[in-house]
Amino acid sequence: MVEIPRELTIGWLRRAYATGAAAPRQVVEEIVRRAEESADYCVWVQPPSMELVEPFLVTLSESGPTPETPLWGIPFAVKDNIDIAGVPTTAGCPAYAYTPQTSATVVERLVAAGAIPVGKANLDQFATGLVGVRSPYGECRNALNPDLISGGSSSGSAVAVALGMAAFALGTDTAGSGRVPAALNRLMGFKPPLGSWSTAGVVPACASLDCVTVFAHSVEDVRAVDAVARGFDTACAYSRFYEETAQASCELPDAICLPSEQPAFYGDFAHVYKDSWDATVEALRVAAVERGIVVRAMDCSYLNEAAAVLYDGPWVAERWADLGSFVETHPGDVLPVTESILRSGAREELTAEVLFDAMHFLQECRHRAQLDLADAVLVMPTCGGTFARAQVDQDPVGANSQMGLYTNHCNLCDLAALALPGVEAADSLPFGITAFSLAGDQRYLMGFAAELATHLE
């Protein structure tokens, strides 16, 4: 048997299985060992174990790989607000825990395709946070620098992939939770268009905006997971029909849009992130010229204004509508910072009039984005900086708000997004960018990453 690499990819595993150089059981045993070895990173709520995985291994051994199981033997992590049948779901709150009888639709589809769920990953409680430290199961540490935040809320999912405990991982994304951890742990993070992946079996944060996401090391792996996970689901009220051929394809955009104003950077690493952004923009300009792609400036001020609606406007009331009754009936069981955010959704000033004003404004933003991003992608920093975990402890709300500066607008404006590594200006301090497209144009995101990402290495 071959030595299993630290960076697990779908491509490597497929080749190893096909040649007999590795077997799923051997891979899972190594993942269990790695999970035990890295316990102080606080990656897991339900860590990988042979007992948990054994039923899936038995099924794989009975069937063997087939054309209907393109993810045969591929281990993946599941954020602990997404159901796996027979495994407790906590959403980062022990008092909230329940044991589902059925798996979330996306998990069912992946398992049917031969993938192996190896454990439930840590998260910011109730998927409310972008920092990765808001969990009673411990502050999930950054895979590259444990003193820094891992990003949230899908913290454990990203770190599980970055530390070689899964080939890919499921997260969720309402405000940026499937993209910020990708940037901070040198991964790709794909946030599909709203409704293209089912959210049935997912604990809601803001049900109308929630997306299930994937973390992986390459665009090829992202596409392999997306091909299995996406599709209309009758069990999901937010599921949408998309033209599948267009969603599955990979195509270069006609234009790359860049913010017309220099992005703002923050924190102790602001200068490093600015240098990385500038180097990334230059690399993209060179790559675009080589391929005949137009690079143009875009006024992103309306996206910034839209982003403010999520927490400063009435949409925070949706979080309270989803979770308020639990908070009210379980005093002391929710982390204080999480409870304060959820309770802000019950403010008296969030009237129906305020809600409709916000809805009308967001519709204008979506319409404008339809015009600005026709056959194009918009590229922005995923984050404008990062923080030490100790710094977030001192200013949990302020630090979290800054981490969402370039992410919060996405779902409100009905965009798809793919986070990927940019040009790095310092070791162990990864910098990431995000490409945004219209909901029906995710093919441009995949083409952008496949054709241009090599220029950013």
442: confidence class by pLDDT, cuts 50, 70, 90: very high
Its CATH class, for the domain covering 250-456, is alpha beta
pLDDT value at 2 more than 90: no
* Residue pLDDT, tens place only, 303-355: 999 999 998 889 999 999 999 999 999 999 999 999 999 999 999 999 999 99
Q: Which helix (H) or strand (E) holds 255?
A: strand 255-259
Report the distance separating Cα 266 and Cα 415, nearest Å: 25
Give the global pTM.
0.97
The single-letter code of the amino acid at 300 is: C
How confident is the model over 6-32, as pLDDT tens digits?
999 999 999 999 999 999 999 999 999
Looking at residue 248, its pLDDT comes to: 81
Q: What is the pLDDT of residue 426?
A: 83
Based on its alpha-carbon atoms, the radius of gyration of the chain, rounded to whole angstroms, reads: 21
Reading the block at residue 19, the tokens are 């040649």
**Type of residue found at 283:** A
pLDDT value for 448: 96
Tokens of 54: 């054994």
- pLDDT category, 115, cuts 50, 70, 90? very high
Residue 454: pLDDT above 80? no
Question: Shortest CA distance to 387 belongs to which of 182, 123, 185, 148?
Answer: 148
Residue 457 has what pLDDT? 72
The mean-pLDDT minimum among 82-86, 191-195, 340-344, 426-430 falls in 426-430
The tens digit of pLDDT for each residue in 380-400 reads: 999 999 999 999 999 999 999
DSSP string, 291-321: HT-EEEEE--HHHHHHHHHHHHSTTHHHHHH
> What is the arithmetic mean of pLDDT over 128-135?
96
CB-based burial of residue 367 (10 Å sphere; 0-12 exposed, 13-18 middle, 19+ buried)?
exposed
Q: Summarize pLDDT for 210-258 with one digit per residue, the tens.
A: 999 999 999 999 999 999 999 999 999 999 999 877 778 899 999 999 9
Q: Which of 302, 263, 295 is nearest to 415 (CA)?
A: 302
| CA–CA gap between residue 159 and residue 355 (Å, rounded) | 37
Instruction: Please list the active-site residues.
Output: 79, 153, 177
User: In this predicted structure, what is the pLDDT of residue 236?
Assistant: 98
Residue span(s) of the chain under CATH 3.90.1300.10 come to: 10-247, 250-456
Comparison of pLDDT for 144 and 1, the residue scoring more: 144
**Does residue 154 sit in helix, strand or coil?**
coil
For 10-247, CATH number out of 3.40.190.10, 2.70.98.10, 3.90.1300.10, 3.30.365.10 equals 3.90.1300.10
Residue 421: is its pLDDT beyond 90?
A: yes
Using the predicted structure, report yes or no on whether residue 1 has a pLDDT greater than 80.
no
Is residue 302 classed exposed, middle or buried when 0-12, 13-18 and 19+ CB atoms within 10 A define those classes?
Answer: middle
Decide if pLDDT at 455 tops 80: no
Outline where 3-152 has alpha helix (H): 10-19, 24-37, 50-63, 105-112
* Segments in 202-351 forming alpha helices (H): 219-229, 244-248, 270-291, 301-312, 316-329, 336-343
Give me the residues paired with residue 378 across strands: 257, 436
pLDDT number for residue 212: 98
For the segment 72-92, the average pLDDT, to the nearest whole number, is: 98
Q: How many residues does the chain have?
A: 457
Q: How far apart, in Å, are the Cα atoms of 40 and each of 43, 143, 151, 296?
A: 8, 11, 17, 45
* Mean local confidence (pLDDT), 179-194: 98
Give the pLDDT mean for 181-209. Answer: 97
Count of other CB atoms within 10 angstroms of residue 95? 12
Per-residue pLDDT, 274: 96
Taking Cα atoms as reference points, which of 81, 119, 134, 82 lies closest to residue 103?
82
